Amino acid sequence: MSPAVSAQRHSTLFSAVKGQPRQVWITAFAAVIAFMGIGLVDPILLSIAEGLDASPSQVTLLFSSYLGIQVLAMLVTSASSARFGAKRTVLVGLSLIVLATLACGVAGSIEQLIGLRAVWGLGNAFFIATALSVIVGAATGGQAGAILLYEAALGLGLAVGPLLGAVLGDLSWRGPFFGTCVLMAVALVLCAVFLESDAGHRRPRVRLTDPLRALRHPGLARVSIGSACYTAAFFTVLAWSPFVLQWGAVAIGLVFFGWGVCVAVAGVVLAPKLAARLGEADATAVAVLGYGVLMAVMLVPAKPVLVVAIVVSGLVSGLLNTLFTGTAMSASGAPRPVASAGYNFCRWLGGALAATLVGHVAEWFGSAHAPFLVAAVLCLVATGVLAVGRRSAPTVTAEHV
């Protein structure tokens, strides 16, 4: 996409988030709470390891099980939404999260906690992909503004999650799970009462294999693979940094709160400006390369340098979350729920693999900083994938998605 076209697309983003229907704001609020779950356990990883006598590799499985089941479930979210309706799918997802977070709070072993995080991830899968299509479909002002609102919810959730985890986790590692359960129960009630009913809506038939079929489109496949590599680097920072810092819950929570604020600000304010200046494709490639540079900076064995790099990486993550999602939703002619499911399948697969392997990478290389080197290489791979043939196919406009 040329800078001129991108500028036209993003010129009304701020006006697009005004005057949105009530169900858009309610879905966005629920998305904030859902995304809190990603960073919620970050400040309490060391506390969980101590409280349940678990190793670092076991504790990082809390991310792996959460993301792994989410990856597989992403393949059925579009079919579920098409068959049962968006509202029912959202409510099922939120209900699973409420039950899982409540059970996490009373878990007696690391194995139980890992299993319950998988249930949490299943609920998140049903909610996240469906919420994106709900917001995009119901929002006024076009797809760009809707995606901006969705990514703002992501950034806010990533900011609040570590802070809530730090405050409640300072009392007990169980506290953040109970707190999330209460907030998600509120979101569940609001969605049940105010989201538009599925009755009377025509829903096209979607097969379980449609998200994978959608990835046959070269543009969507390229963006999804690039996003998977970036997301792997993203979760390297999220899942491994606390073990390198070796700080308490409050200190780590404050670091990642600053990181999350940067994610939100960059996604809402900076991403549209960068896309307007460079074009969405070039902006994404430049941002991924910048993220790789920050991963290389994290190799420096000094905690102050690592802290600064973590916080600054939030700015680049905010750019990439918005740019990748916007590009993916416009890359092919697949229906929005199908494109979203296929894209999110690849996106979170990268995160699941990273969270599973990050501890082992540190052991294999004999260095706590080695995972950041692998993350830097993955960012270079993502940059290359995005650069190859990105101008070979025209971008599909929002009206055709």
Burial of 246 (0-12, 13-18, 19+ CB in 10 A): exposed
Tell me the C-alpha distance between 378 and 383, whole Å. Answer: 9
Tell me the C-alpha distance between 66 and 296, whole Å. Answer: 27
By mean pLDDT, which of 61-65, 141-145, 317-321, 382-386 is the weakest? 141-145
pLDDT for residue 104? 93
- pLDDT tens track for 166-192: 888 888 889 889 988 998 898 899 888
Tell me the C-alpha distance between 274 and 280, whole Å. Answer: 8
Q: Identify the residue with better confidence: 67 or 113.
A: 113
pLDDT for residue 114? 92
Tell me the C-alpha distance between 348 and 354, whole Å. Answer: 10
In 313-322, which positions are buried (b, 16+ CB within 10 angstroms) versus exposed (e)?
bbbbbbbbbb
Predicted model pTM: 0.80
Among 142, 178, 182, residue whose Cα is nearest residue 16? 142
Distance of CA 168 to the CA centre of its chain: 23
pLDDT for residue 88? 86
Q: Identify the residue with better confidence: 286 or 397.
A: 286
- pLDDT tens track for 144-168: 667 777 777 877 887 888 888 888 8
Among 316, 334, 338, residue whose Cα is nearest residue 383? 316
Tell me the C-alpha distance between 373 and 48, whole Å. Answer: 27
**Cβ(67)–Cβ(352) under 8 Å?**
yes
Tokens for 237? 């920072």
pLDDT for residue 233? 96
pLDDT for residue 95? 95
Residue 339: HSE in the Cβ half-sphere, 13 Å Cα cutoff = 26
Domain range list for the chain: 7-197+208-400
CATH number of the domain at 7-197+208-400, please?
1.20.1250.20
pLDDT for residue 107? 92
Tell me the C-alpha distance between 105 and 256, whole Å. Answer: 22
pLDDT for residue 7? 41
In the predicted structure, residue 259 carries a pLDDT above the cut 80: yes
Burial of 129 (0-12, 13-18, 19+ CB in 10 A): buried
In the predicted structure, residue 10 carries a pLDDT above the cut 50: no
pLDDT for residue 322? 84
